[in-house]
Amino acid sequence: MTAIIPNNKKVILVGDGAVGSAYAFSLVNQGIGNELGIIDVDKRRTEGDALDLKHALPFLSPMKVYSADYSDCGDADVICITAGTAQKPGETRLELVSRNLRILKSILGEIMKTDFNGIFLIAANPVDILSYATMKWTGFPPERVIGSGTSLDTARLRQTVAELIDVEAGSVHGYVLGEHGDSEFIAWSNIRIGNLPIESWTGPLDAEKKEAVLAKVRDAAYYIIERKGATAYGVASALARITRVILNNENAVLPLSVYMDGSNYGLNDVYVGTPAVLGANGVVKIAEVPLNEEEQKAMENSAGVLRKILDDSFIPIDNEK
Q: Which residues are catalytic?
A: 180
Provide the 10 A C-beta neighbour count for residue 315: 10
C-alpha 305/C-alpha 282 separation (Å) is 26
> Does 77 count as an annotated binding residue?
no
20 appears as a binding residue in the annotation: yes
Residue 273 annotated as lining a ligand binding site: no
Is the backbone of residue 250 left (phi > 0), alpha (psi -120 to 50) or beta?
Answer: alpha
On whether 72 is known to bind a ligand per the annotation, the reply is no
Residue 144 marked ligand-binding: no
75 labelled ligand-binding: no
Q: Is 126 assigned a ligand-binding role in the annotation?
A: yes
Does residue 139 have a known ligand-binding role? no
Q: Amino acid identity of 203?
A: G
Q: Is 220 annotated as a binding residue?
A: no
How far from 298 is each of 60, 80, 88, 179, 213, CA to CA, in Å? 44, 29, 27, 10, 16
Q: Is 218 annotated as a binding residue?
A: no
158 carries a ligand binding annotation: yes
**296 assigned to a ligand binding site:** no
Is 49 known as a binding-site position? no
Is 33 within any annotated ligand binding site?
Answer: no
195 is in an annotated binding site: no
Beta strand pairing call for 196-197 and 192-193: antiparallel
For 290: left if phi > 0, alpha if psi spans -120 to 50, otherwise beta; the answer is beta
Residue 87, marked binder: yes
- The answer to whether 178 is a known ligand-binding residue is no
- The annotation places the binding site for substrate at 87, 93, 125-128, 153-156, 231
- The annotation places the binding site for NAD(+) at 15-20, 40, 45, 70, 100, 106, 123-125, 148
- The annotation places the binding site at 15-20, 40, 45, 70, 87, 93, 100, 106, 123-128, 148, 153-156, 158, 173, 231
- The annotation places the binding site for beta-D-fructose 1,6-bisphosphate at 158, 173
